[in-house]
A and B are shown apart, each in its own frame.
Chain A
Amino acid sequence: MSESVRCSVGIDLGSTTTKAVILDSEGHIIGRGITNSRSNYDLAAAVAREEARISARFGLLRKEVERSAGRDVLDQLLKAFRLSQTLAQLARLHALIDDEIDRAVASALRRPAHDAVTLIVSRIEDEEQAWFDAPDERAGDRSDFFRDAAGSAYMRFAEEIGDPIGASFDLLAGLYDKCIIRVENEPLELGFRDHIGSALERIGSPAAVRDGIERAVSVTIDEVCTVGTGYGRARLPFPKEQIRSEILCHGLGAHAMFPATRTVLDIGGQDTKAIQVDAQGIVTSFQMNDRCAAGCGRYLGYIADEMNIGVHELGPLAEKSSRRIKINSTCTVFAGAELRERLSLGERREDILAGLHRAIILRAMSLLARSGGVEEQFTFTGGVARNPAAVRALRQLVRENYGERTLNISPDSIYTGALGAALFAHRDVTARAAAAPAEPGQQAGEAEVQR
């Protein structure tokens, strides 16, 4: 009989990404996965879970063979695995686009469209291969999302080769947009078992790894309890006891990452939450933004769109500011108008952005104050925690209002909610296990007393 690991799983179905964390029976993290959220929530959850299982198997493999095979070989294997997954997705994308061309494109344009797409795909494949061959690129150094990696390459090549071949960029981009959604919305075979073989071949099947893989493949990852959380949690097909609010999960997750945490600020895409937790990570009080999304991640998204830059570029740009401009409104609806007005007044983009970041954090400060203030230690989570200008504004305002506080930001902060959910699952399992044998024992005890 093959070995099995009893695990607890946490799934955080967020508005933009879905995360999964797997814990072993001791409550230690053994796997994590992330994917784009999509209209099909079940699938998003399934993909994140599968990714987490893959990372768990890699973890097992690493434990098993790292010493004999060496770290580099394993990193290389992981890269090969990612490559294999990406190529599979790319092939599927290609097939879907071909179908779409035959179905929806005017016959005169079909030939050039097919040719252009074939060329684009082979260029992307080359690029992927080059990435794999480059010795100093690591698997974890780039986005895990197929859409991010392949999407931008596709557009780049479409621009370059579309027109010369006779297929316009707009046509190619339209085909991509239509089909990428389908690639994301159908379950592809992207699991460990499906790709580890070809990945192994790609790195020359070193014997030291091959045996370990046997075990990593055959181990049963036995998910004894799953807890779901996040924005879309109500749509997870779980019974109610297995659903926890993201406020509780963020509290517990932040506590697990930084046990001395007493205050948590989470600024996500849709909402902002200020949470106070006790020494066990249990929430004692919280506040969240009202119905209006002003000051949340979504607001930064609008600003980025308005400025025609990526969201991740906003913070670094704001960091270049030398003269912060005071912005009062964090209203998402007015964001564009406010920005254009400032620009028309001749203000510099970085100064406006510095002001915007401060305005967002000011709103968060008011929620923090309402939830009970900022205690030592303080943990910042959510997508906005990766924005350096937001972090700087937060540090400054916390110091001004509460004095020195330790501010924790984990590089893995995106997994905070899923980790909290997994810990709740783990706790449920432990409680169940503790309850089961306790009862007869208790009764026996009582009987003794009676006697």
Chain B
Amino acid sequence: MSQASKGEKHEAAKDRSMVLQKQMIAEHYERLERAPETGEPVVYTFVPGNLTELIRAFGALPVLPEINALQSGMRGRSRDFISEAERLGHSEDVCTYVKCDIGMLKSGNIGPTGTRLPKPDLLLLSYTGCYTFMKWFELLREEYDCPTVFLQVPYQGDGKLSAEHRDYIAQQLRGQVIPALEKVTGKKYDDTIEAELKRRLALAAKAEDDLVAVLQSAKKKPSPIDAYFGGVYYIGPIFSAFRGTEEGVAYYEALRQEVEARAAAGKGPITPDGPLDKQDYRLVVEGPPNWTHFRQFWSMFSDWNAVVVASTYTKVGGVYDFGFRHDPDDPLGTMADYCGGCYTNLNMPSRIDMLVDYIEQYSADGFLINSVKSCNSFSAGQLLMLREVEKRTGIPGAFIESDLVDPRYFSAANIKNRLESYLQMVDARRAERAGGGGGGGGSQGAEARP
């Protein structure tokens, strides 16, 4: 019986951060719905390169269209939204986040929690690494006829953000982004706002510390978290509207405590199919998840007692585990570093290094790429990365294909087949290495016997 009560306690502990998260998100959407009356300015922006501290320092509220799109996917609404956008003439090949967002907008603009989303006062594109972002906001500008500001972020083609590039971003922040925010909020970027920005950057750094601790807990065996399927919940607040907020800090404190308690108890994560304490495969995953069949996708892993110990997707709104933290002492410089350091702004060698590092640091048995049809920022070059990582680690990789929010691109049987084949391949290789002969077969001679 003590076993069960322990389990319950963990459920309850897990619930605390989840309750917090749910609360803060609900409150945020309610506040957004009231924004037209309260007069709080609304800024639409994207997850990679989001400047939440700055937006908030100006007293504005951020809206993240990708988050709305993925939430629509998880709630089974994306199919209709995408059809709606396709009816309007958007081709089948357009990133499905865009179509899902446009479809939602055309269907009354009711957000994931059931509240109406306000119109933007400003479209702030603070990361140009994805061309689709630009086109997306161009479409929204057409729709809302509101000011738009683009922050040009140079690609890390040679693996780092050079000093000139950093200056270039900071200059644009000073010369374009801040003036645009001043205009829509009617506030000057004075000492008070700068102090507020610094205060928020410090809050951001605090939450980032806790997030990193949570993600790195997966080095432990068994891992107390699933760093992909669970991970996407953990990054929710910090990658959306809550970096640099008190609620954000509180959430990550709570989460970290829970995860540390689970780690201390030698417990695994809670999956849709119950606790995963027995972990037979430790995997690293590259690429975003599929949202329309999220639970089913996760179950395919947990059915096999496979836990994800590290993922690149959980870095999509900020790569923190290699030391970067928002620095309150250099507000513009730190924001430039942040925008330039987006995961999809990294070149292929850097992404390969990262995967290799994860496989080694987290003692992974394998790695898997989920290649989503929608997103070339992720998908281009993934097979080359796979081969290179295989070569450097000696560990075979798996490759599966799906999409973000278009359910038509999720073939459960196909994905399951690939995943199972892959895990069995890992098994067979383990057996082979353990000297079992790997099943060379009777016709190839008798197996060694003691």
> What is A's interface to B at a CB cutoff of 8 Å?
23, 26-28, 244-248, 252, 255-256, 259, 271, 278, 280-291, 370, 372, 423-424, 426-427, 430-431, 434, 437-438, 441-442
Residues of B near A431 (CB, < 8 A) are: 436, 447
> Could you show 29 A-B contacts with beta carbons less than 8 Å apart?
A26-B446, A27-B441, A27-B442, A247-B417, A248-B428, A255-B440, A271-B417, A280-B437, A280-B438, A281-B438, A281-B439, A281-B440, A281-B441, A282-B428, A282-B429, A282-B438, A284-B425, A288-B417, A288-B418, A291-B410, A291-B414, A370-B383, A423-B442, A427-B437, A427-B439, A430-B442, A431-B436, A434-B450, A442-B450
Contact with A along B373-398 (1 / 0, CB 8 A): 00000000001000100100000110
Interface pair B390/A280, CB less than 8 Å apart = no
Residue B5 CB within 8 A of the other chain: no
Interface pair B444/A259, CB less than 8 Å apart = yes
> What is B's interface to A at a CB cutoff of 8 Å?
383, 387, 390, 396-397, 399, 401, 409-411, 414, 417-418, 420-421, 424-425, 428-429, 432, 436-444, 446-447, 449-450
Residues of A near B396 (CB, < 8 A) are: 284-285
Interface SS of A by simple majority: mixed
Residues of A near B446 (CB, < 8 A) are: 26
Interface pair A438/B442, CB less than 8 Å apart = no
Interface pair A287/B399, CB less than 8 Å apart = yes
- Known A-B contacts A280-B439, A427-B437; the reply to A441 vs B411 at CB < 8 A is no
Interface pair B421/A423, CB less than 8 Å apart = no
Residues of A near B440 (CB, < 8 A) are: 255, 280-281
Which residue on chain A has the smallest CB distance to residue B417? A245
Residues of A near B442 (CB, < 8 A) are: 23, 26-28, 423, 426, 430
Interface pair A372/B387, CB less than 8 Å apart = yes
A280 to B440, CA, bound (A): 5
Interface pair B421/A283, CB less than 8 Å apart = yes
Which residue on chain A has the smallest CB distance to residue B439? A427
Interface pair A245/B421, CB less than 8 Å apart = yes
Residues of B near A282 (CB, < 8 A) are: 425, 428-429, 432, 438-439
Interface pair B441/A423, CB less than 8 Å apart = yes
A28 to B432, CA, bound (A): 21
A434 to B446, CA, bound (A): 11
Say how far A249's CB is from chain B's closest CB, in angstroms. Answer: 10
A147 to B428, CA, bound (A): 39
Partner of B420, one of A245, A370, A442: A245
Residues of A near B410 (CB, < 8 A) are: 291
A259 to B383, CA, bound (A): 28
Say how far B57's CB is from chain A's closest CB, in angstroms. Answer: 45
A290 to B408, CA, bound (A): 12
Which residue on chain A has the smallest CB distance to residue B423? A245
- Known A-B contacts A248-B421, A280-B438; the reply to A256 vs B443 at CB < 8 A is yes
A281 to B446, CA, bound (A): 15
Residues of A near B447 (CB, < 8 A) are: 427, 430-431, 434
Residues of A near B424 (CB, < 8 A) are: 244-245, 248
Which residue on chain A has the smallest CB distance to residue B450? A438
| 10 closest residue pairs by CB, A with B | A27-B442, A291-B411, A245-B421, A247-B421, A280-B438, A427-B439, A423-B441, A280-B440, A282-B438, A256-B441
Residues of B near A438 (CB, < 8 A) are: 450
Partner of B439, one of A246, A252, A290, A370: A252
Partner of A426, one of B411, B414, B421, B441: B441
Interface pair B409/A291, CB less than 8 Å apart = yes
A280 to B428, CA, bound (A): 10
Residues of B near A426 (CB, < 8 A) are: 441-442
A27 to B437, CA, bound (A): 14
Interface pair B401/A290, CB less than 8 Å apart = yes
